[in-house]
Amino acid sequence: MRGMRALGLGVIGFGVVGRGFASLFLRRRDLLEEAFGRPVRVVGISDVARGNAFDERGLDLERCLRAAESGVDLGEATGAGGLPGMELASHPAVDVVIDLTPTNLSDGEPGYSHLRRALESGKHAITTNKGPIALRYGELKELACSRGLHLKFEGTVMSGTPVLEMAQRELAGSHIESVRGILNGTTNYVLTRMEEGLSYAEALREAQRLGYAEADPTADVEGFDALAKALILSHVIFGAGLRPEEVPRKGISGLSHETVEEAHSQGKRYKLLVEVSREGGSVRASVAPTLVGPEEMLYHVRGVENAISFRTETLGEVFVKGPGAGATATAQAVLHDLLSLARDLRGR
Ligand SMILES: NC(=O)c1ccc[n+]([C@@H]2O[C@H](COP(=O)([O-])OP(=O)(O)OC[C@H]3O[C@@H](n4cnc5c(N)ncnc54)[C@H](OP(=O)(O)O)[C@@H]3O)[C@@H](O)[C@H]2O)c1
């Protein structure tokens, strides 16, 4: 591999997932180089809070990680002057743009612009950011296809636990009729603790103390995060271009301790379910707290875990359970997407 031009990765967003990916990259670089058949380097990192660093020869990621952890600007720590995200996304030394910026469900920015710029500049694009995929998947996919490029986003649903590519590749031809999933760990944690006797407010405070819920929990408890995942599943698995306003959404903030206890006394549990199904010629999706009995595997999913059940014509039910968040679990999704890209580029 010596003497071959390295594959350059440009990482935009160096928060929890960005740093998780840098750590995992250091441990799995050999695997990536074997898959791509050439050296692989992170040539640029851009983060509005932590600074920008760029080096065509490859950044010293250990130094970048130490700088980010200690609050030192990345450019200062590496001595490698950087590029803001939009410039990194179109730089000739970057072959794959990895957008790990915050999810914004109003307009998908800034991830949408990063991905669009990357694809327009001839780069493959990977993201864990739900915003651009939930809101503008069709447009981005079309752009990628028209340029012979790949757009990958496994981490947007259940982090590194396989869902999207598994549904498309491994379940190909099984005719998926519907999916039902617990796709938000925060709300599942809160509901689990409410069943164990806490009030909604107590359970939410505990989730915040443990780092499972944000200081502003609205996106999770009002079902917006789950809605984004419903949209992504509807686009990717069912080929439907549903818009947010077409998906009824209800969160868990209106569920009282008494309601949860009442369900418990009947041997049932409330779960915040994402449901997407084909009905006749149309596709319907919803997000709502739903009563589930012990005969369903989703009933047994506790705490922050996520799970999804595919109902298929040829296999019946296929069920996948695993982590839905976390630095390493989500970095695994980015690693998966890179390995999947390497396979695609080799034509297998
Ligand atoms: N954490 C998880 O377990 C997980 C799981 C699945 C999917 N995701 C998704 O993955 C993405 C990253 O998550 P995260 O937990 O790493 O978020 P995070 O910790 O907030 O990190 C995102 C970083 O990107 C920076 N940023 C914002 N706008 C930017 C821009 N225009 N250019 C460059 N950097 C920018 C942010 O700076 P500021 O803080 O100043 O905004 C922050 O440092 C999100 O979209 C999230 O929804 C996360």
> Which CATH number do you get for residue 299?
3.30.360.10
User: Quick check: is 2 in a domain?
Assistant: no
Please state the atom number of ligand 1 nearest to the C-alpha of residue 131. Answer: 45
Residues 314 and 251 in one domain: yes
* 65: its two tokens: 């990680």
The C-alpha atoms of residue 196 and residue 269 are separated, in whole angstroms, by 11
Are 11 and 65 in the same domain? yes
| Encoded amino acid at 136, one letter | R
CA dist 346 → 35, 37, 96, 176, 339 (Å): 9, 10, 16, 28, 11
Sequence-distant (≥ 6) Cβ neighbours of residue 44 within 8 angstroms: 8, 10, 11, 52, 53, 54, 55, 59, 82, 83, 88, 91, 93, 94
Q: In what order do the strands lie in the sheet with 51-54?
A: 51-54, 40-47, 7-12, 96-99, 124-127, 151-152
| CB-neighbour burial class of residue 23 (10 A; exposed 0-12, middle 13-18, buried 19+) | middle
**Residue keyed to tokens 């800034």:** 110
304 vs 158: CA distance, rounded Å: 11
Hey, whose CA ends up nearest to atom 21 of ligand 1? Answer: 15
> Do the domain assignments include residue 261?
yes
Kindly report whether the peptide bond that precedes residue 289 is cis, defined as omega within 30 degrees of 0: no
CA of 111 to the centre of ligand 1 (A): 10
Residue 241, pLDDT score:
87
Residue 1 lies in a domain: no
Q: Is residue 110 located within the same domain as residue 247?
A: no
The alpha carbon of 316 and the centre of ligand 1 are apart by a number of angstroms equal to 37
Asked if residue 132 is part of any domain, the answer here is yes
Ligand 1 pocket mutation pick from 21, 48, 133, 184 by most atoms within 8 angstroms of CB: 48
Indicate if 173 and 148 belong to the same structural domain. Answer: no
- Cα–Cα dist 274/288, whole Å: 7
Clarify whether residues 153 and 177 are in a common domain: no
Number of folded domains that form the chain: 2
Q: Among 229, 250, 268, 321, which one carries the catalytic annotation?
A: 229
CA-proximal residue: ligand 1, atom 40 (nearest): 49
Which atom, in ligand 1's list, is nearest to the CA of 156?
7
CA dist., res. 109 & res. 189, Å (int):
29
Q: Does residue 229 carry a catalytic annotation?
A: yes
Q: What is the CATH number of the domain that holds 63?
A: 3.40.50.720
Q: Are 52 and 187 within one domain?
A: no
19 C-alpha vs ligand 1 centroid, how far in Å?
A: 10
Shortest-distance Cα residue to atom 44 of ligand 1: 102
Indicate whether 133 and 201 sit together in one domain: no
CA of 196 to the centre of ligand 1 (A): 32
Which atom in ligand 1 lies closest to the alpha carbon of residue 109?
31
Query: Looking at residue 1, what is its pLDDT?
Result: 67
Q: Is residue 338 part of a domain?
A: yes
Residue 111 CA, closest ligand 1 atom number: 31
pTM comes to 0.97
Mutate to test the pocket of ligand 1, among 65, 133, 330, 334 (most ligand atoms within 8 A of CB): 330
Residues at CB less than 6 angstroms from ligand 1: 12-18, 46-50, 85, 100-103, 110, 128-130, 155, 159, 325-326, 330
- Looking at the fold, whether 340 and 237 belong to one and the same domain comes out as no
What is the model's pLDDT at position 111? 98
β-sheet bridge partners, residue 238: none
Whether 178 and 99 map to the same domain: the answer is: no
Distance 13 CA to ligand 1 centre (A): 6
Residue at 241 is within a domain: yes
**Is there a single domain that holds both residue 201 and residue 280?**
yes
Domain holding 194, by residue range, is 166-323
Q: How remote is the CA of residue 20 from the centroid of ligand 1, in Å?
A: 11
Same domain, 56 and 106: yes
Mutate to test the pocket of ligand 1, among 65, 97, 100 (most ligand atoms within 8 A of CB): 100
Same domain, 312 and 336: no
Atom of ligand 1 nearest to the CA of 225: 47
Residue 129 in any domain: the answer is yes
CA distances from 282 to 13, 167, 273 (A): 37, 19, 20
How far apart, in Å, are the Cα atoms of 281 and each of 158, 238, 239, 308? 28, 11, 12, 23
Tens digit of each residue's pLDDT, the chain (348 residues): 667 899 999 999 999 999 999 999 999 999 999 999 999 999 999 999 999 999 999 999 999 999 999 999 999 999 888 999 999 999 999 999 999 999 999 999 999 999 999 999 999 999 999 999 999 999 999 999 999 999 999 999 999 999 999 999 999 999 999 999 999 999 999 999 999 999 999 999 999 999 999 999 999 999 999 999 999 999 999 999 899 999 999 999 999 999 999 999 999 999 999 999 998 889 999 999 999 999 999 999 999 999 999 999 999 999 999 999 999 999 999 999 999 999 999 986
* Interval between CA 79 and ligand 1 midpoint (Å): 24
Amino acid letter, 133: I
Q: Classify each residue of 114-129 as buried b or exposed e, where b means 16 or more C-beta atoms within 10 Å of its C-beta.
A: bbbbbbebebbbbbbb
Residue 348: predicted pLDDT: 60
Interatomic CA distance for residues 330 and 16, integer angstroms: 9
